[in-house]
Amino acid sequence: YYHPPLTTVRQPTYRIGKSAVEMLLKLIKGDTMVAPEIIEPQFVIRASTAPLVQ
């Protein structure tokens, strides 16, 4: 752990992996491909950022 806690971007790796495997299985079976799923990351604001000063 870091002090102060770092602001980061959380990647939903489980969902990304699951989606990739499902796409691969469809390709292997010869199914038609649908548009890829867009999986949004999550911006996690912690103590390492400050408000923008004008």
State the residue range of the domain holding 15.
1-54
Q: What is the predicted pLDDT for the residue at 54?
A: 76
Q: What is the predicted pLDDT for the residue at 7?
A: 93
What confidence tens digit (pLDDT) does each residue in 1-54 have?
A: 788 899 999 999 999 999 999 999 999 999 988 888 899 999 999 988 777 787
Please spell the DSSP secondary structure of 1-54, one letter per residue. --SSPPPEEE--HHHHHHHHHHHHHHHHHTPPPPPPPP---EEE--TT--PPP-
Q: What is the predicted pLDDT for the residue at 34?
A: 82
The pTM (predicted TM-score) of the whole model is 0.70
- How many domains are contained in the chain? 1
